Chain A
Amino acid sequence: MSDDKAPDAKLPGEQKTVDTHVEGADSAPGAGLEREDAQPDEALDAVALVPVGAHVIETRTGMWSGGSGDTSGYGRIVHTVEIPNEGLPSEGWYAGVVGRLLKLVPDALVRVVFDRGELTFFVAREKLTEVMGQLRDDAQLRFEFLPSVSGVNYPSDAGAELHVAYHLQSMTHNRRLRVETTCPDDDPHVPSVTPLYPAADWHERETFDMFGIVFDGHPHLTRILMPDDWVGFPQRKDYPLGGIPVEYKGTTVPPPDQRRSYR
């Protein structure tokens, strides 16, 4: 704020208006109205304690998809499917965001994954609401926009078969972040973030519809894409694609999910 007392002078914290372009992290506002401790701090030591490293999802053998006989001689090849992790880069905003979040919620993160330019926070489901609340409200974090929620089913990730990925966008700082939480198959419960981000309403309904993940606290968790009386959760890996064998010129072609296919 300058010293002039023009009639249209703005209140402190109102410097950022919709007319001001956010070109990058530099031109984003350094202060917010909500918190007095909004200035950046250097205490990033906690970041070093965050578990990093690749995460093994599955180990598989052979060249072909499940159950197919393998006469190719490749049957003893062992593949390890792991989600790679480059570790937090020293440049950019990433370490700052991790440090800030750990300051607000000390044991927020199960794992931090930085892969191909995208930052992912793995959060225990018990901590999800608190972490998302801080990510939204804190002036330094300020991920105010939730574009997407999507589920992923990893049948071989024991104890964490169902993942929910929340994609967040900070328009204030022009940053993107993925928050991921997991739940086991036999207890498919995750707290709802709809009270924090109303945009999650339909997304959580869709994830419930497709994966059977129950979002506790959701105002109206019903099926949204499938018919109300549908049985089963179509996007789970053990749910068949459907389809019938097709006969053509004497040969029978099985439906796509029963064909032998390459891994």
Chain B
Amino acid sequence: MSTTDDFYAQPGEETEGTVYTAMGGDWAEIAAEQAERSDEILVINMGPQHPSTHGVLRLILECDGETVLSIRPGIGFLHTGIEKNMEYRTWTQGSTFVTRMDYVAPIFNEVAYCLGVERLLGIENDIPERAQVLRVLMMELNRISSHLVCIGTGGMEIGALTVMTIGFREREMILDFFEAVTGLRMNHAYIRPGGVATDLPETGIAQLRELIAWLHKHLPEYAEFCNENPIFKMRMIGIGHQDLAACMALGVSGPVLRSTGYDWDLRKQQPYCGYETYDFESIAWKPTDGWAPSDSYARFRIRLDEMWESLKIVEQCADRLESSRGKPVMVADPKIAWPAQLAVGPDGQGNSHEHIKHIMGESMEALIHHFKIVTEGFRVPAGQAYVPIESPKGEIACHVVSDGGTRPFRVHMRDPGFNHLQSVPIQCEGGMISDVVVAVGSLDPVMGGVDR
């Protein structure tokens, strides 16, 4: 290997020793030396702290050059024992725990849990219409914001930073609406067994209309930026391929399953919360001659189209909410219904002023009832339930087991990301390291949900 003296040194300055430069003729020798060792397999530990792993995901790669020979995902870094904790809290408090699982799509955790509890309670048909509409509204807005995070971070990872910046701009509008309704941008605990925690605020409909107009204007931008962008397509088409058989075997659902062309959307197949009454399409990739589907690009396009369909549902929800103003949002049975409407006051969210006045100044029985249901909660008949719903990532469901007590006996959240990460090896082995990032991004795992 030829070297030179430090020719960056000023005249008279002491040199720092040998300098390797990218100029001159020594690169051929370095490359030849490297080629001698080319049969060596490089083990790369990607994560748990890595900007492209969507949280604390650890990927252990064995690489030959830039080719991935094997890849093994390691999870559990964000395990917080949510399921165990829930066994020591009331059924209503469970909502506050599940919302912290998949924190990018918190509303779906809450709905999956509450539908399970409601099936055990046998009140599935008693949920007021307005509560169901509010649930659908929040779910569909959350679907848009979750897809925006997926597309935005996925775009950023392949260098399309603008997709991320405009994606988070739209998401911020949605989170502002969430904050106006639930009091918080995330960790809502808005969906409760029996209904929802509180009705829309007075300005809710107006803000929703504003949000719809904003999304109408800006959602088409993503298609214009990306759909035919040659760099975007070259990075995504054919990457992360997983065909229908592999999806079935590995329990993969959601946009990844629909990117194979198989149209399986639980909102259509096994409707819940009244989805059968809304006008929307479920989006599956239509195989065309241009390229094989089941890749990252197909998933990206599916998410784009799904956001548009979600916006259609949101508009229908806005109309229904306008016509059902003042109707109840919680089940009628006072033994289950949380006693108070929440209100956002100057010092944060809490029980509404009217309710405090009622229990503290007017009715002793109301105070006793409030105290009993808040401290003791309600009993749920023994049994078990599993109600699947379609989250932005795929099938999410809660296996809820009750022993007839005031606390859940066992709660297990089936998170789609947990299943999807199992398919990282089938999507990435034999490909390039840089494509691992694209494939993982197209699976859209959120480690809070995966590890729980």
A interface with B by C-beta (< 8 Å): 18-19, 21-22, 57-58, 79, 81-84, 115-118, 120, 144-148, 150-153, 165, 167, 169, 171, 174, 176, 178, 197-199, 201-203, 206, 223-227, 234-235, 239, 241, 256-257, 261-263
B residues less than 8 Å from A206 (CB atoms): 418
Contact A147 B395 (CB under 8 A): yes
A199-B419, A201-B422, A226-B79 given as contacts; is B383 within 8 A of A83 (CB)?
Answer: yes
B382 CB contact (under 8 Å) in A22, A82, A225, A234: A82
Contact A18 B244 (CB under 8 A): yes
B residues less than 8 Å from A83 (CB atoms): 382-384
Contact A224 B75 (CB under 8 A): yes
B residues less than 8 Å from A146 (CB atoms): 251
A81-B382, A84-B383, A145-B248 given as contacts; is B399 within 8 A of A21 (CB)?
Answer: no
Contact A241 B85 (CB under 8 A): yes
Cβ of B412 within 8 Å of any chain A Cβ, yes or no, is yes
| Cα distance, A196 to B385, chains bound together (Å) | 24
Q: Select from chain A the residue with minimum beta-carbon distance to B418.
A: A202
Contact A261 B249 (CB under 8 A): no
Cβ of B274 within 8 Å of any chain A Cβ, yes or no, is no
| Cα distance, A136 to B83, chains bound together (Å) | 30
B residues less than 8 Å from A151 (CB atoms): 412
A residues less than 8 Å from B370 (CB atoms): none
B403 CB contact (under 8 Å) in A81, A197, A202: A81
A198 CB contact (under 8 Å) in B119, B249, B260, B410: B249
B residues less than 8 Å from A225 (CB atoms): 75-76, 79, 451-452
B interface with A by C-beta (< 8 Å): 75-76, 79, 81, 83-85, 87-89, 119-120, 122, 244, 248-253, 260-264, 269-270, 376-377, 381-386, 388, 395, 397, 399, 401, 403-407, 409-410, 412, 414, 418-419, 421-422, 451-452
Contact B377 A118 (CB under 8 A): no
Contact B383 A178 (CB under 8 A): no
Contact B405 A234 (CB under 8 A): no
Interface Cβ pair total, 8 Å cutoff: 132
Residue pairs across A and B with Cβ atoms less than 8 A apart, 9 shown, are A83-B384, A174-B270, A176-B386, A199-B250, A202-B421, A224-B75, A225-B452, A235-B84, A241-B88
A18 CB contact (under 8 Å) in B263, B388, B405, B414: B263
| Cα distance, A83 to B419, chains bound together (Å) | 29
Contact B386 A145 (CB under 8 A): no
A residues less than 8 Å from B401 (CB atoms): 152
B residues less than 8 Å from A144 (CB atoms): 248
A174-B270, A241-B88 given as contacts; is B382 within 8 A of A118 (CB)?
Answer: no
Given A18-B244, A174-B270, A199-B250, 9 new contacts (CB under 8 A)? A83-B382, A83-B383, A148-B414, A150-B410, A152-B401, A171-B248, A199-B251, A241-B85, A241-B88
- Leading 4 A-B pairs by shortest Cβ distance: A199-B251, A150-B412, A148-B414, A256-B88
| Cα distance, A211 to B386, chains bound together (Å) | 20
| Cα distance, A83 to B384, chains bound together (Å) | 8
B residues less than 8 Å from A152 (CB atoms): 384, 401, 409-410
| Cα distance, A74 to B165, chains bound together (Å) | 61
| Cα distance, A117 to B388, chains bound together (Å) | 13
A22 CB contact (under 8 Å) in B251, B260, B269, B414: B269
Contact A171 B406 (CB under 8 A): no
Q: Select from chain B the residue with minimum beta-carbon distance to A148.
A: B414
Q: Select from chain B the residue with minimum beta-carbon distance to A196.
A: B249
| Cα distance, A245 to B386, chains bound together (Å) | 35
Contact A261 B406 (CB under 8 A): yes
A148 CB contact (under 8 Å) in B248, B397, B451: B397
A118-B385, A174-B269 given as contacts; is B399 within 8 A of A147 (CB)?
Answer: no
Q: Select from chain B the residue with minimum beta-carbon distance to A227.
A: B76
* Closest Cβ–Cβ distance, residue B113 to chain A (whole Å): 14
A167 CB contact (under 8 Å) in B79, B250, B386: B386
Q: Select from chain A the residue with minimum beta-carbon distance to B414.
A: A148
Contact A116 B385 (CB under 8 A): yes
* Closest Cβ–Cβ distance, residue A141 to chain B (whole Å): 15
Contact B249 A116 (CB under 8 A): no
Contact B383 A116 (CB under 8 A): yes
Q: Select from chain B the residue with minimum beta-carbon distance to A156.
A: B403
A residues less than 8 Å from B250 (CB atoms): 198-199
| Cα distance, A18 to B385, chains bound together (Å) | 30
B residues less than 8 Å from A235 (CB atoms): 83-84, 410
A residues less than 8 Å from B385 (CB atoms): 116, 118
Contact B386 A178 (CB under 8 A): yes
